[in-house]
Every structure is written in structure tokens, then in C-alpha cells.
A and B are shown apart, each in its own frame.
Chain A
Amino acid sequence: MSLWIWLLGALAAIAALAWIGLWAARRLSGNAPRYRDMSYGVAFGYALALAAVAAGVWLWMKPGAVYFRWAVMGFAVCAVAAFLFRLAGRHLGPERLKRQFRKMPLTAAFGILVILIYAFVAIFAAWIAPHGQEAVLGAANVVPGGDPAMGGDPAFPLGTDRIGRDILSRLIYGAQNTVGLAFATTLLAFFLGGSLGLLAAVVGGWLDQVLSRGVDVLMAIPSLIFALLLLTIASVWADGARGLLTFYMVLIIAVIDSTRVFRLARSVGIGIVVMDYVEAAKLRGEGMGHLVFREILPNAMAPLLAEFGLRFCFVFLTIASLSFLGVGIQPPLADWGTMVRDLAQFINFAAFAPMVALAPLLPALAIAILTVGVNFVVDWMLHRASGLKS
């Protein structure tokens, strides 16, 4: 209850601050237009921002707020890295690339940097990782941080899990497994949904009707729920073969997600089919393959590419969620969702040793950063393509 009283009091104080500030600014500036025309709402916004900054500084000074300091430092490091990356892009490389970087917002630069780093780590995981992903090493439950006084070990900078596997190595291999599988699934979904959608657009008639109504039905079931239902059945089919179950999961998610791609590809395709150059190609007597892949696909590429980014995020989060629930990517493979679930109980020790709580948060953070990065890039691409300024 006292929390609410504090909150209401703070709000009242901010409201009063805004009113006094606005009045004072009008007085001191001799009623300058900037302050004369400022509405109370805007002044309140400034007061709120001021209060937020003050609260931030207070939190930073507070000795107990380790996580807040880490979060602020992490944010600053990300911003600086993105800025340097954009700076490098503006001055290095060929002219065409430089021009791209010149108008790029910082968020998009951050996204591209993240994607590049993840791709690098995923491809070269076997060389980067200090240990194997399945290797059970000496000590279990080594605390992250590498400080022997706290129960850490310099050989395992991020500690080890319950059965003594190196968390850093598993994080690195997780990039390969989780991101790689999500990428393969998205590719499969695009191949399925894209080709069927464009085909439905070109052929039309009963084929279009059958495919579209089928997709409507599949889309009426929430995707995570449907995936869980199908995975139950797949797990009976696979009957304990873990690798097979992972393969079924990829297939199931690809099929479920291809419905969304189908919708987009069909609607984009229908807009292109009526163009004159497609008509001309038809009159030339070109075959179906030529029509779909040479005439329509190149012109549908831009919206499909943006959709690819969004779909990838979605598939990636679905796979991570399923793995977190214990029915996705199966154990011997290192995977971020499973790691979060396995390490989750470490979070209860955060009050005594802040480092320990990092173990479950790092894989979750790895998932979040990649999806945020991809989303930033897609956001920028859509913004650029639509030419919207507001």
C-alpha cells in the first residue's frame, strides 16, 4: 500500500514541478514563443523525463543496484559499438556501401553489427569455443566470474552447469544450434509458403481457393498451441529418438509458419500478375516456372525479404520457447532455450552473489539481442521502402 502512496506522491510532485517550471520559464524568458505556446502536457513530459534521469542517477549511486549499473553499462557499450560500426561503414569500403551507411539510424547499424557477430560465432563455433558442447568437465556448479574466492574458476569464465559443462562453450554452440535451426526452418517455410503462394497467384481458380481456405483453417489455430499438439504426436512417432524429434520440430514449425508466408506471397503476387510484362511473358508462351521465378519473384523480393526477417524472429522465438518448455531442441545439443530452463534456479541466489544470476539470464539475453537486432534492421528496411517520413 505504501508503494502506491509513494507513487501517487511522486506523480503529484512531478505535476507540480511541471507547473512551476513552465511558469518560471515563461517569466524568466519574457514570455518567449517557445514557452508561451508550450502546453502543460509537454511541460509534464519534460518534468517526467527529468524525474526519470534523477531516479536513474540515484539508482546508479545506490550500492545495491548492481544490475541497474550493468544494464546501463551494457546499453552504453551497445550504443558506442553501433556508433563506431556506422562510423567505420561511412569511411571504409566501396562508395555504394558508404552511401547506405550515411543515412542509417543508429538502431539499424546496431542490428547489422549484431547479425554479423552472431553469424561469425555460429559459423566458427567449433574454433571459438574453449570446450565441446557435450563435454562434462571436472567441477559442477562453478560460479560465473572466474574469481576463486567466490567459488569461480578462471578456466570457466562463465562457470559450469549442474553436471559440469562449460556454460561459455554451450552459449557459443547455442548460436550454431538455435540460430542455425531457426534459419533452416525459416528457409524451409519460405520455400514452401513462397512458392505455393506465388503459384496460387498465377494459377488462380480452384487451386487458389483450395490453398487459401486450407491456410485460413491452419491460421485459425494459434501457432504455438498447434505446434505443441503436433509435437506431442511427433514425440510418439519419434519414440525417444531425440535427433528425429528435433527434425520433426523443424518440419512442423516450417509448415505452420509457411501459412503466413503464403498469405503475403499470394497477395504480393496477385498485384504483380496483372502487370503488362507478365501478360507479355504469358503471350510469349513462357512456362509456369519462368513466370513464377523469373518474372514475379524478382519483383516480389523486397517485401518478401522484410518478411523473412520478421518470420525469422518469430520462428526463432517459437523454437526458443518450445525448447524452454522442454519439447523443442533436444538435450545433447546445446541450445539457449533449454539452457535458460536448466539454469533457472540460479536466479534465486542473486541477492547473495549477483554474478550467479547471470547464468540463466545470458542465454535469454542472447536470444533477445538477436531478435532485437533483426527487428531493428527490418524496421529500417520497411521505413526506407515505404518512404514514410512520419
Chain B
Amino acid sequence: MRNRTAATRIPGHRGEHGNLGSVIRIVLQRLALGLVTLLIVSAVIFGAVNLLPGDFAQAVLGQSATPEAVAAIRTQLGLDQPLPVRYAQWLWDAARGDLGVSFAQANFASFTGRVDPSATVLAQIGPRFANTMFLAGVTAAIAVPLAVGLGILAALWRDTAFDKGANIATLSSISSPEFFVAYILILLFAVVNPVLPSLSNIFPGMSFGERLEKTLLPALTLTLVVTAHMMRMTRAAILNLMAQPYIEMARLKGMRPLRVIWRHALPNALAPIVNVVALNLAYLVTGVVVVEVVFVYPGIGQLFVDSVKLRDIPVVQACCLIFAAAYILLNLTADILSIISNPRLRHPK
């Protein structure tokens, strides 16, 4: 049984020869396209920051700096170079992992001498990036099975009380701002019934269990927001398929509804569902910012917001680049997965 479903899961996988080459070609094409997009996006980010009146040197030293000091830092940072040269330099450094020096953290005296290693943007972002990935991972582990399962049930029992209730619940959950959901959860699970901590003070050297406990409330908040999207899209994808003739055929020959979905609808709905999952994980990238601020979670989103308030431009630039890269990568994954699982997309007319 399992073998047969596995075979139907990738329709047209057997018996088609010479297909692998075309898949690899298309995947490479998409990867190249993603890389170009990332390059252009980095140019947009770099260009946007250079819209600033004055420049980094002025921003570092403030209004009252002497012209000599400004000029010294300009030479130090290479700000006297023309714009395209600076962009190429920044990109080259970023590709090697050198994202510059944080304004807020930098000891300005060290600008003239050695750069303090803890002041580099990379040293700040590194551990926080790992924390954010942990949060996103926990969220995905809860949300994906839950959303797909509920979506299938809603499609199976469409127009019943369950479906209508789920419709109202998911619409409300999508419409609520993340911080509303977060505070409701804090109210219920941290204040009124103190079972989970409301502040996620995570530090290195914590055990996995402790870490998970501190992460659970932010992860649940994100789960509630993301699950609603994912579930609605899963339901729509399956309902779309349920109108197909072969589904009607399966039903008419007396198959049980759950089996119709499992054997006929789900394998064909897999491409859209995988797409939905990847798109929603991309949505997590944005949602993470607000949730991390609410729970004081030491992730990259909180660093981003703090840097925006401090006008710490190298950090803002780097965070923006990382968020955009994650977003593009996830969208790219959705694209490639749907092409792999749907042979019709492999041969565009």
C-alpha cells in the first residue's frame, strides 16, 4: 500500500525517460534566477541606505564632529570611493561573511586603530540567527502537521459546522495582529495559569528542554498565525481537486471519502500544499519580528528593530539582507518543489 502511494505521490515519475536532465536544467535556471534576484535586492538595499543625507561618517560622529575627524573616518571606511566601487566592496565582504562594524557596539576610538572583534555585525548576528532558526523550526514542527491535517478535515467535512467554525476561527486568527495573539497567550498561559514563562531569556549553555520551554510561547503564537493561512490554503487546494472528474469517479465506485482524499486527492494536491507550506514559512520571516519583540526573544528580529531605533545602519542593512535572502530562498524552494512534483510545469507550452 505504502509503495503505491509513494509512486502516485510524484505523478509520472516512472516510465518517463530523459526527464531528469530537464528537471536539473529547470532547477539550475531557477537557482540562477534566485541569485540574480538576490543581487538586485542587495543593490536596492545598498542604494536605499545611500539615500541618507550625509554619510556613515557623519552618522557615526554626530552633528558636532570636526571636519577632520569626519574625513579621517571616511578614508578609514572607504567612503571617499565612488558608489559602484563601494557596492562591489560591500557585496564582496558580505559574501565572505564580513558584514561590517556595528555603530552602536563599536568603540569609536577603535575606529582609528584595531576593530574590536565583538563589535562586528557578524558577531552580533551569529548567535541570534541560530536562536531565530530554532524558533522557526519549533513553529514549523508544530504548525505544518497541524495545518495540513486540519485543512484536509475541513475539505472532507466542508459546509458542516466544523468547516464553518474553522473558517471563522482561521479568518479571525489571520486578521488579528501578532501582538494581540501573543498577549492573549501570555495572559492565559503565563499570568492567569502560570505554566510557561512569558519572557524568553535564552542564553548559551541551556539544555534543550529548557530552551524548548522558553521558546514554546512565542512558537505557539507564530503557530496560531501561520496555521490559519496554511490551513485555508490546504483546504482550497484540496477542494479545487475535489471537483475533478477522476475524484468523482472514485467516489462513484464507492470509495470511502477519507480514502478518496488519501489516494487520489492528496498525491495531486501535494504540489500546491508544499507550495503553501514554503510560502507560509516565508511569511514567518516577517512574523518573527513582532513576536520576538513581545517575548524579548534574543533573535535576529529583535536585533533588527533595536537597530532601526538606534539607526545602526550596518546592522539594519545586514539583517535586511538576511531576511530577504531567507524569503527569496523559501520562495525559490516552493517554486522548485512544485516544478519537481508536477510534470505539467516541466514542459511549459
Contact = CB atoms under 8 A, between A and B. Distances in A.
Q: Do A and B come from one complex?
A: yes
Contacts of B309: 326-327
A26 B99 CA distance: 70
Which size class do A's interface residues fall under? 35 or more
A59 to B, nearest CB: 11
B309 to A, nearest CB: 6
B75 to A, nearest CB: 22
Interface in A204-238: 216-218, 220-226, 228-233, 235-237
A3 interface: yes
Interface stretch (B64-72, B156-164, B264-272): B156-164
A67 B192 contact: yes
Contacts of B161: 49
Nearest to B155: A390
B41 A221 contact: yes
B88 interface: no
Contact of A317 (B177, B194, B307, B313): B177
Interface string B268-308: 00000000000000100110011001100000000011011
A351 interface: yes
Q: Is the interface of A mostly helix, strand, loop or mixed?
A: helix
A379 B167 CA distance: 10
B87 interface: no
B51 interface: yes
Contacts of B195: 3
Interface stretch (B105-113, B117-125, B322-330, B336-344): B322-330
B143 to A, nearest CB: 18
A324 B323 contact: no
Contacts of A39: 256-258
Contacts of A348: 191
Given A220-B327, A364-B180, A375 B171 contact: yes
Nearest to A336: B177
B177 A233 contact: no
Interface stretch (B15-23, B24-32, B42-50, B126-134): B42-50
Given A64-B192, A321-B178, A390-B239, A236 B53 contact: yes
Contacts of A351: 191-192, 194
Contacts of B320: 221, 225-226, 228-229
Given A45-B157, A222-B285, A375-B171, A367 B162 contact: no
B177 A222 contact: no
B324 A324 contact: no
Given A64-B192, A228-B308, A220 B328 contact: yes
Interface stretch (B4-12, B77-85, B182-190, B200-208): B182-190
Interface in A357-379: 357, 360-361, 364-365, 367-368, 371-372, 374-376, 379
B60 interface: no
Contact of B186 (A45, A224, A347, A379): A347
B229 to A, nearest CB: 12
A107 B168 contact: yes
Contacts of B49: 229, 233
Contacts of A236: 52-53, 59, 311
B172 A372 contact: yes
Contact of A222 (B48, B192, B323): B323
A303 interface: no
A313 interface: yes
Given A45-B162, A217-B44, A367 B187 contact: no
Residue from B183, B195, B328 with most neighbouring chain A CB atoms (10 Å): B183
Contacts of B243: 390
A221 B327 contact: yes
Contact of B191 (A232, A350, A379): A350
Instruction: Identify the interface centre among B40, B188, B286, B317: most chain A CB within 10 Å of its CB.
Output: B286
A233 B323 contact: no
A217 B183 contact: no
A325 interface: yes
A320 B59 CA distance: 29
B89 interface: no
B175 interface: yes
A325 B290 contact: yes
Nearest to B283: A222
B179 interface: yes
Contacts of A376: 171
A138 B267 CA distance: 66
Given A39-B256, A39-B257, A368-B180, A228 B172 contact: no
A229 B45 contact: yes
13 contacts: A3-B195, A217-B41, A220-B41, A222-B327, A230-B48, A324-B293, A327-B309, A347-B187, A347-B191, A364-B179, A364-B180, A364-B183, A371-B176
Given A45-B157, A236-B311, A340-B183, 20 more contacts: A218-B44, A220-B38, A220-B40, A221-B44, A225-B289, A225-B324, A228-B305, A229-B45, A229-B49, A230-B48, A232-B316, A233-B51, A236-B53, A236-B59, A321-B179, A324-B290, A337-B177, A351-B194, A364-B183, A374-B175
Interface of B: 37-38, 40-41, 44-45, 48-49, 51-53, 59, 156-159, 161-162, 168, 171-172, 174-180, 183-184, 186-188, 191-192, 194-195, 239, 242-243, 256-258, 282, 285-286, 289-290, 293-294, 304-305, 307-309, 311, 313, 316-317, 319-320, 323-324, 327-328, 331
